[in-house]
Chains A and B, each alone.
Chain A
Amino acid sequence: MKVWGSYLPRIAGKPSGVVEEVAVPEKLYINLQRGGLIYAPVVKNGQDVKFGQALAEVQVEGGKLSLPSPVSGKVFIKEKEDLPSIIIIETDEPKAEEGVYDTSRLKHISREEIRSTLSSSGIWPFFWSSETGGIPSLDDERPRAIIVNFLLSEPFRARGEVILKRSWRIIMEGIKFLDRLLADYGTIEIILTAPHGPVARTIYKDLAGFACVNFHPVQPLYPVENNMLLKRMLRKVSSSFKKEDNVWVIDAQGVEAVGACLSGGIPLYQRVVAVGGPALSDPKHLSVRIGTPVKDLLKDSKSGDGTCVLRGGLFLGNPVDPDRDYVNFDDDAFFFLPEVKKREFLSFLRPGFNRTSYLPAFATVVTRGDDTQVSTSLRGEIRPCVACGLCESICPSGLLPQFLHRYLFNGDLDDAEKIGLNLCIGCNLCTYICPSKIELQKQFALAKEELKAEHEEAKAILARKNTHD
C-alpha cells in the first residue's frame, strides 16, 4: 500500500530495541483525563485498592469505561480547581501481577463479555472506530475489519517490532480474540513493513484457522499510523471496502493488552514507552508502570539542561513538565528536544553535515548523517508563502496546503472547505517542512473548528424551520 507524500526525517536519538524495566515508584499518579473523557473517582480518600480494581469510571454510550489501578496500595485523591483531579496511589510491597479476571471460560467467552472485560480493564479506548471517529461504542458495533498496525513511524514512538518481539505469544492471543469482535466475514488487516518476511509468515502460521488475516506492506514513513489514512489505504487496495464500512484500528501495544487481559486476566497496568531525541544520551524503550512520574524515566540517562520534553513524538507531541507529569494510560513515547541556546552565525551558508531536510539541500544527502540540530528553534524567519510547493508534495492526504493557506488567509472558509479542508488529518508535516515557517496546522485546525460550528448552526436552523413547518 502506498501513502501520498509522507516523509521520515533522520533525527538523531533513535531509541534502541532494548526494553528496560523501570522500577515501580513509591507513589503513582493517575490522571483522570484520558482521550478527552474525564473519569469520576469511584474510590475514597485513604481507601486500600487492589491491583486491577477500578479507580474511576465514566459513562459512555452503551456502558461504562473504567481506569484500573496499576498497583495495590492506598489511594489519595488530589482535587484540582480547573483541572480534572489526580489519584495518587502509595504502592504496597510489589507483588507479581496476577490475573484478576476469570479466564476459565475463555473458549466460550461471548462478545458482550469481551466488551465488558476490555472496558473495565482500561483497554477499550485503544480501539479507534471509523464510525464514531474515536472509541467504538459499547453497543453492538461490529466492524467490517480490524486493522492491526505494527508501524508507528513518528520519531520516536514505541516501535511495533520491539513490542512484537517482547510479547509475541500474547499478541497472537490478542489477535485471536479480535476476531470475535468482527462482523460476519470480517477480516483482520495487519500492517507490516515486509509482508513476505519471516515475521508475517510466522504470524500467518500462528493464526491459521483462527482468523481471516490479510497482510499489507507499508513503507515506514510518517504518518502511516494515522487511523483515517489507514482506512483510506485499505479502500485503495481492496475495492470491496466501501466508504461507509466500519473499520477499527488498534496498534501493537493495544493488541498486546487485549491478549494479556483476555488470556491471562490481567488489566492494563504498564506501557512500553520509547524515550528518544537529540537531547538524550541513551535513547531506548522503557517498560513503565502507568502513573510513574516522567522524571523517573530519566534516572539512568543524561539529558542536558534546557530540554523540552514532548509527550508523544516529534510531530504531534506537546511539551510536558517532567516534574509534574506522569505516564498516562495511552502514552508510548517521550521526545527529548534540546532547547535552543545560542544563535548560529551565518547558519544558512553552512554545508549542513548535522541537519537533514526534506529537500536534498544539505550535506547530509551525501554523508547520510542524522539531524542532531533539531531543537525548539523555528530555524528561520517567518516569511510570506513563496509558493515553493513543498507542502503539496509532502501532504499524505494529497491536499494543496498552499491554497488552503491562501484561502484561509483571505478569510475564504467556503473555498477552503471545497478544496478538502476536512480531509486534513492533522499530521503536521506541512508545518514541519514549510521554509517560510508558516503555522499552517494551527490555521487549519482553527478553520476546521469554525467550519464545524457553522455546520452545526446551519443544522440547528434547519431543524427549527422544519418544526415550524
Chain B
Amino acid sequence: MKNRKGILDKIRPIFEEDGKLSFFKPIFQALDNFLFLSPETTKNPPFGRDPLDVKRFMSLVIIGLFPCFLASLYFFGWRTLLILLVSYIAGGSVEVLFALIRKEEINEGFLVTGFIYPLILPPGLPLWMVAVGIIFGVFIGKEIFGGTGRNIFNPALIGRLFLALGYPAAMTATWVKPGWLPWGKLLSPFTIGTPDAVTSATPLVLAKVGELSSIFNLFVGRVTGSLGETSAIAILLGGIFLVLVGVASFRTVLAILLSFTVFNGLLRLAAPSLVNPVLFSLLSGGILFGAFFMATDPVSSPVTKSGKWIYGIIIGLIAILIRSFSGFVEGVMFAILFGNIFAPIIDEVVIRFKIRRYAREE
C-alpha cells in the first residue's frame, strides 16, 4: 500500500497550484480521492463524524443496480457492457470537462447517472446515439444548472427523452428478443453495430393489440424491453436492497407503486378495454425500475419527507394515465420528469405547513 500511495504523493506537486499540470488538478484529485480516504480533518464540532460519505452513498446505488445489469447481460448479451462503456466515456468526458473549466472537484454523482442511463435504453440502439444521449443529458440535464445537487431533472432521463424525441424510430424499433436458452445470450458474439433481430414489439405494444405476455416471463425478464428494466426480480432484489440500506426513500417507492396500482385498478374498472390488468401493468415496462431507481434520485425529487409521498402519488397517477389514454405505450419517463417539475413546489407547500407548526412552538 505504501508503494501505491508513494507514486501518488510523488506526482502530487505537478498538479498543485503552480505545477506544470495544475489545470488537470481535478482529474488527479478524483483519482487520489477514489483510492484513498480524504486527508481532511474536522475543524468544527462535532470533531468525530459519521463514516458515510457521498462516495459510499453512490457506490451503494451501483451495488443496487448490479442485479439489473447482470440480468441485462444475461438476456441481451455482451453489447450491454459496450453500451455502458460508451455511456461512461462520453458522459464522463462532459463531467470532467466541466470540472476542469470550473476548477472544481469531480463529483461521484456521475458514476450513478452513467450506470443508470444504459439500463433504460433499448438494447439495439446504435452506439453513437447512446453517446449523444448521455452527452445531452449530462450537459443540459445537469451541468448548465450548476452541477451535482443543483439539477432539477434526472439527467439520465433527460438523455433518454432527447433520444425519444430526436430519434423516435430508433427508440421504438430497436428492441431485441431476449436470450431463451439456459445461458441466455452470454455465448452470442459481441456486436458493435445494431443487432439483426430487432423488433418493435414490447409487452406494452403487444398489449395494445390485446396480446398479454405471460406473467412468469415478465417476472423473470424474458421479454423485450429496455436493457435493465425487463427483469422484475432483478429490480426487486436491487431495489429492496437500496430501500433497506436507506439510500432509496421507501416513501417515494411505496407512494409510486401504491398510487400506480390503485389508479390502475380503478381505471380498469371504468374502462377495461383501454387499461391493462394491474399485475401485468406493474411487471411490464419501466414502472418498477422507475420507482426504485429513477424517481428516488434525491436531487431531483422533493427534499421533505411528506413531499416524497405527494411526489410518488403524482408519478404513479400520471404514468398510468399516459399508458392507458395516450399515443405512447409507456409513460414512466414522462411521469417522473413531471414529478421532477412539481418537486420544488411540493416542497414549498410542505414548508408552509411546517412554518405554522414552528410558529406554535417558538
Contact = CB atoms under 8 A, between A and B. Distances in A.
Bound pair (A, B): yes
A386 B54 contact: yes
B312 to A, nearest CB: 14
B39 interface: yes
Contact of B41 (A310, A371, A376, A402): A376
* Interface size band for A: 35 or more
Given A348-B56, A379-B50, A389 B45 contact: no
B49 A393 contact: no
A387 interface: yes
Contacts of B361: 232, 420, 423
Given A343-B37, A386-B109, A439 B44 contact: yes
B210 interface: no
Nearest to A7: B50
Interface centre among A355, A362, A380, A420, by most B CB within 10 Å? A380
A375 B50 CA distance: 10
Interface string B43-61: 1111111111111110110
Interface residues of B, number: 57
Given A378-B38, A386-B298, A400-B304, A337 B247 contact: no
Contacts of B301: 387
A439 B45 CA distance: 9
Nearest to A362: B51
A11 B246 CA distance: 21
A462 B147 CA distance: 44
A315 B46 contact: yes
B299 interface: yes
Given A344-B37, A389-B298, A436 B48 contact: no
A392 B303 contact: yes
A361 interface: yes
A385 B109 CA distance: 11
Contacts of A310: 47
Interface string A429-469: 00111111101011000000000000000000000000000
Contact of A389 (B39, B50, B305, B357): B305
Nearest to B358: A420
A400 B351 contact: yes
B224 interface: no
Contacts of A101: none
Interface centre among B54, B109, B299, by most A CB within 10 Å? B54
Contacts of B57: 361, 386, 388, 435
Nearest to A439: B44
A276 to B, nearest CB: 12
Contacts of A399: 358
A68 B148 CA distance: 57
A116 interface: no
Contact of B49 (A343, A437, A442): A437
Contact of A435 (B34, B54, B304): B54
Interface in B56-81: 56-57, 59-60
A245 to B, nearest CB: 14
B326 interface: no
B143 interface: no
B149 interface: yes
Interface of B: 1, 4-5, 33-57, 59-60, 105, 107-109, 147-150, 244-247, 249, 298-299, 301, 303-305, 347, 351, 354-355, 357-358, 361-362
22 contacts: A317-B47, A343-B36, A343-B37, A346-B35, A376-B48, A377-B37, A378-B40, A379-B38, A379-B51, A381-B105, A383-B54, A383-B107, A383-B149, A386-B54, A392-B303, A400-B304, A403-B303, A403-B347, A418-B355, A420-B362, A435-B52, A441-B45
Given A9-B50, A380-B38, A422-B362, 18 more contacts: A308-B47, A317-B45, A317-B47, A343-B37, A345-B4, A346-B36, A360-B244, A361-B247, A371-B51, A377-B39, A377-B40, A381-B54, A381-B55, A386-B57, A389-B303, A392-B303, A400-B351, A436-B149
The 6 closest A-B pairs by CB, nearest first: A380-B53, A384-B149, A420-B358, A343-B36, A348-B55, A378-B40
Interface of A: 9, 11, 232, 308, 310, 314-319, 337, 339-340, 343-349, 352, 355-362, 371, 373-389, 392-393, 398-400, 402-403, 418-420, 422-423, 428, 431-437, 439, 441-442
